[in-house]
């Protein structure tokens, strides 16, 4: 099973492709300066080969499309077909009170994320955009959100109410 993990920010996107059978990383990298001059994609595959693609990246959608093209590239790609990716995971900073656990991202989850987007305005809108793009490009793949705030749901009240000494 191969899982693509994406962490979208306001002008960047970090990614890793994992092979869950071997528990190894197949590719990783960063897309920088989305919507800004001098954009680029950094890419490293499991063989240690590193490349940088300098290209205008006007939107997160364009960046994700470029990432998928790179993963499928004959020269340095690690996938023969996008069908090898069985799921897409997202690091989402703030899920509000509605997300206490990792969650399958469907239309209802996107609606809830849009309702709390103002809690983390630099990350949540790009995350939602990335999710929608991946749903469009890989419609049959499960999309899963993992929330930083889910960690805080499991803290004891005495810990989050009392200051550290």
Indicate which residues carry an active-site annotation: 148
Cβ–Cβ under 8 Å, residues 91 and 7: yes
Cβ–Cβ under 8 Å, residues 38 and 17: no
Q: Which of 65, 51, 54 is nearest to 32 (CA)?
A: 54
Cβ–Cβ under 8 Å, residues 104 and 112: no
Strand arrangement of the beta sheet that strand 24-32 belongs to: 50-54, 40-45, 24-32, 12-19, 2-8, 85-92, 143-147, 103-104
Q: Which of 150, 146, 137 is nearest to 71 (CA)?
A: 137
Query: What DSSP designation does 102 have?
Result: -
């Amino acid at each position: 099973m191969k899982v693509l993990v994406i962490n979208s920010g306001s002008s960047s996107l970090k990614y890793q492709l994992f092979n869950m059978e071997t528990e190894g990383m197949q590719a990783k990298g960063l897309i920088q300066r989305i919507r800004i001059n001098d954009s680029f994609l950094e890419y490293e595959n499991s063989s240690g080969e590193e490349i940088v693609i300098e290209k205008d990246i006007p939107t997160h959608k364009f960046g994700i499309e470029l990432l998928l093209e790179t993963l499928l590239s004959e020269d340095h790609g690690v996938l023969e077909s996008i069908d090898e990716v069985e799921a897409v995971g997202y690091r989402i900073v703030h899920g509000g009170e509605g997300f206490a656990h990792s969650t399958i991202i469907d239309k209802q989850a996107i609606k809830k994320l849009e309702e709390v987007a103002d809690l983390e305005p630099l990350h949540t809108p790009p995350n939602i955009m990335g999710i929608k793009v991946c749903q469009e490009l890989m419609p049959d793949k499960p999309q899963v959100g993992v929330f930083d705030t889910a960690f805080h749901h499991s803290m004891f009240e005495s810990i989050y109410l009392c200051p550290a000494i």
